[in-house]
Amino acid sequence: MCGIVGALLNRGQVLAGMIEGLRVLEYRGYDSSGVALAGSDGLAIAKCAGRLEALECHLEASPAPPARAGIGHTRWATHGPATDRNAHPHKDGTGRLALVHNGIIENYLELRAELAEQGHEFLSETDSEVCAHLIGRELELGGTLVEAVARALKLVRGYYAIAVLYAGDEPELVCARQGPPLCVGLARDGTWIGSDVLALIPHTRDVIYLEDGDLAELSTSGVVVRDATGALVERELQRVDWDVNDASKGSYAHHMQKEIHEQADVLARTAFHRLDEEHGDVRFDESGWSDAELSGVSRIKIVACGTAWHAGLVARYMIEGLARIPVEVEYASEFRYRQPLCEPGTLAVAISQSGETADTLAALRLAADLGARTACICNVAGSTMVREVQSHILTQAGPEIGVASTKAFVAQVVVAYMLAVRLGRAQGVIDAEQGRRLVRDLRLLRPGLERLLSDEMVQKIQAISQRHKGVKGFLFLGRGVNFPIALEGALKLKEISYMHAEGYAAGEMKHGPIAMIEAWMTSVVITGHGAMAEKVRSNIEQIRARGGPVIAVGADQASLNLADEAIEVPASSVWLSPILNVIPLQMLSYEIARMRGCDIDKPRNLAKSVTVE
Ligand code: M6R
């Protein structure tokens, strides 16, 4: 949730690179930020509440001393509100040691009481400050910084990624991870750390992902890593292929807007190289799956959170409908605590943009303990999830910076469709002819997506948004494979415009939500396919009969004709319609939020990657 950067350089000044890293990481947490620098005069700390610009203004007014070593942080508050004092870094009692932390120290109250009794004074309400004092206390007892950190962390219960800077004769930097991610970048000008590879890309592509329990001691020319047992370990050096421009807004006003408009390319990048038109099949080379392995899958459990959970719901319709394998979709946060059962032959599939969501990781580990084979559909190649599962499929959407997920969702649904085809082929449920048709349908989807992303469509959605931005609330309705799209449309609007919105299965409307219908409650209805189209038309009629305005989205012309506002979506197979239908809903949320003056890329109270419970 919080962002961490740091570096020990062999030349130059560290501050500018750290601020650059924090700017990239601000999407992880953005209620306060700070830096600590270790120079010849000891430790200098600058930190303040508010966005990163506040810290930059502060540093402009009171410039920091030159330094080659430093750590920095952007915060998403867990313990104590977003104030200057609670902002990281935190110091120990000696004032020579500074620490930044992402995670939660669960036993911080006991530790704080014990330290207070020993005379330690605390300046903040955070759990993190306790760690700084603990490490400082251990260091006073003797040994090196890395030994003191190791001893202190043995006393800590909880989840953390920490970076500890010590201003001695030579600055020292140690970091550790238990839960939230942390990676080390080996650059020409020194060694960098970041809670996300995006922060390292401006400096290097050569990255080491730390594993749970790792403790890393940085030097200006590399890193020494010890595992949880204290043994020296070699962690694989990996080359990151994301481009630094992927993480910029380019000419767009917001990351979310850029990410919405990238989706035709995301489809091509995620799918086209995997489509085997000749055999009517899909290749997931990185998964290592054989036909024999997939034909033994008798049940699928999907675990995920938020938008990724919606992608899981779409996947259920696709896999059950096309491959005829029973699928259950669970909130990871529920699955992990409800004593679930996994029958033999179960494949547990986690869906996650970040690959670091704490609940999803825990659910996946539980499924593995229960004997399931594990897989994930994930957007981040070096993430914890990708490294822990038996098989993975990368969504290849590129970095997603906007807190509200858009292109990652579409990529997840595209992968879900391909997975349904692959499973159906492996199990002999889909023959080569049907496989060819399904694969061809996906290949032909791109022009439809491009049409939805045209200027003409943007203008149309802006006009509709203008007319509906002031209503009391929104009801999103969809059926079948488009029911999860109704849920996703409502979530998007809630997240970035803070308007009340609910997603419902259209067939459920009469069982309650119809009571909400009135002139100031807009219903966004996703039109149906085949026999379902008529049923959705009835829903539209029923809403209109009660004076409720309707925005219809989809390809069924008769439904569009009945509505007050019609957003026509190109025709496709029913299975691919969610990929098209979700685009206008994303655009509607974006435009309404923009017109209401909301902070689209950094919505209040949210963080991109939920690495704590
Ligand atoms: O990184 P993940 O896909 O595991 O994240 C899961 C959810 O936290 C995420 O989808 C969240 O719901 C987004 N804010 C949705 O826009």
Integer angstrom CA distances of residue 398 from 286, 480, 585? 17, 29, 21
CA of 472 to the centre of ligand 1 (A): 26
- Nearest Cα neighbor of 311 from 299, 325, 329, 295 is 329
* pLDDT 10s digits, 440-478: 999 999 999 999 999 999 999 999 999 999 999 999 999
- 270: tokens are 């995620």
437/415 Cα distance (integer angstroms): 17
- The class level of CATH for 251-443 reads alpha beta
Query: Is 191 touching ligand 1 by the criterion CB < 6 Å?
Result: no
CA of 248 to the centre of ligand 1 (A): 20
Q: Which range among 380-389, 430-439, 599-608 has the greatest average pLDDT?
A: 430-439
Nearest atom in ligand 1 to the alpha carbon of residue 408 is 3
pLDDT for the residue 184 = 97
Average pLDDT over residues 515-544: 94
Tell me if 328 sits within 8 A of 301, measured CB to CB: yes
What's the one-letter identity of residue 496? I
* pLDDT 10s digits, 25-70: 887 777 899 999 998 888 999 999 998 999 999 999 999 899 999 9
pLDDT for the residue 531 = 85
* pLDDT 10s digits, 112-127: 999 999 999 999 999 9
Nearest atom in ligand 1 to the alpha carbon of residue 306 is 12
- Residues carrying an active site annotation: 2, 608
Angle at 582 between CA 283 and CA 446, to 5 degrees: 50
* pLDDT 10s digits, 592-612: 999 999 999 989 888 877 877
Q: Which of 254, 260, 305 to mutate to test the pocket of ligand 1 (most atoms within 8 A of CB)?
A: 305
Query: Is 195 touching ligand 1 by the criterion CB < 6 Å?
Result: no
pLDDT for the residue 166 = 97
Handedness of CA 313, 318, 320, 326 (dihedral sign): negative
Closest residue (by CA) to atom 7 of ligand 1? 306
567/573 Cα distance (integer angstroms): 18
Nearest atom in ligand 1 to the alpha carbon of residue 403 is 14
pLDDT above 90 covers a percentage of the chain that reads: 88
CA of 358 to the centre of ligand 1 (A): 11
Q: Which of 331, 335, 353, 360 to mutate to test the pocket of ligand 1 (most atoms within 8 A of CB)?
A: 353
pLDDT for the residue 470 = 96
pLDDT above 70 covers a percentage of the chain that reads: 100
Going by pLDDT thresholds of 50, 70 and 90, the confidence category of residue 134 is very high
Residues for the chain: how many in total?
613
Query: Is 412 touching ligand 1 by the criterion CB < 6 Å?
Result: no
Nearest atom in ligand 1 to the alpha carbon of residue 354 is 1
pLDDT for the residue 612 = 72
Task: Please provide the average confidence, as pLDDT, over all residues in the chain.
Answer: 94
Task: Give the chain's end-to-end CA distance (angstroms, integer).
Answer: 10
pLDDT for the residue 359 = 95
CA of 309 to the centre of ligand 1 (A): 8
Residue-range domain boundaries for the chain: 3-240, 251-443, 454-613
pLDDT for the residue 78 = 84
- Nearest Cα neighbor of 173 from 36, 73, 59 is 36
pLDDT for the residue 238 = 92
More confident residue, 583 or 82: 583
Closest residue (by CA) to atom 12 of ligand 1? 306
Fold of 454-613: Rossmann fold (3.40.50)
Query: Is 589 touching ligand 1 by the criterion CB < 6 Å?
Result: no
Going by pLDDT thresholds of 50, 70 and 90, the confidence category of residue 244 is low
581/573 Cα distance (integer angstroms): 12
Query: Is 333 touching ligand 1 by the criterion CB < 6 Å?
Result: no
Going by pLDDT thresholds of 50, 70 and 90, the confidence category of residue 483 is very high
* pLDDT 10s digits, 164-190: 999 988 999 999 999 889 999 999 999
Burial degree of 237 (CB within 10 A; 0-12, 13-18, 19+): exposed
CATH tag, 3-240 = 3.60.20.10
